[in-house]
């Protein structure tokens, strides 16, 4: 289920996000999501993303009693 997160950006940050529209997504949310994923990929590598998703799935399973 998608989560909506309120994010506060400076004017300069928003100009940068607006500049990336059409290059990294068509909406503010899509661009911000893709920037975040690109940052995680760059800082931690693709394996970290895989581990993150695996950990999240495990935690959800534990909460649901699976």
Please give the chain's pLDDT, 66 residues, in tens: 788 899 999 999 999 999 999 999 999 999 999 998 888 777 777 666 667 767 656 666 666 665
Domain edges within the chain: 11-63
Quick one: which of 24, 26, 25, 28 has its CA closest to 8?
28
Cα distance between residue 38 and residue 42, in whole Å: 6
pLDDT in tens, 43-58: 777 666 667 767 656 6
Which residue from 31, 41, 29, 21 is spatially nearest to 5, judged by alpha carbons?
Answer: 29
């Amino acid at each position: 289920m998608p989560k909506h997160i309120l994010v506060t950006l400076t004017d300069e940050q928003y100009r940068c996000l607006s500049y990336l529209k059409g290059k990294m997504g068509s909406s503010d949310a899509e661009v911000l999501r893709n920037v975040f994923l690109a940052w995680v990929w760059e800082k931690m590598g693709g394996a970290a993303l895989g581990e993150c998703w695996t950990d999240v799935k495990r935690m959800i399973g534990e909460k649901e009693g699976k």
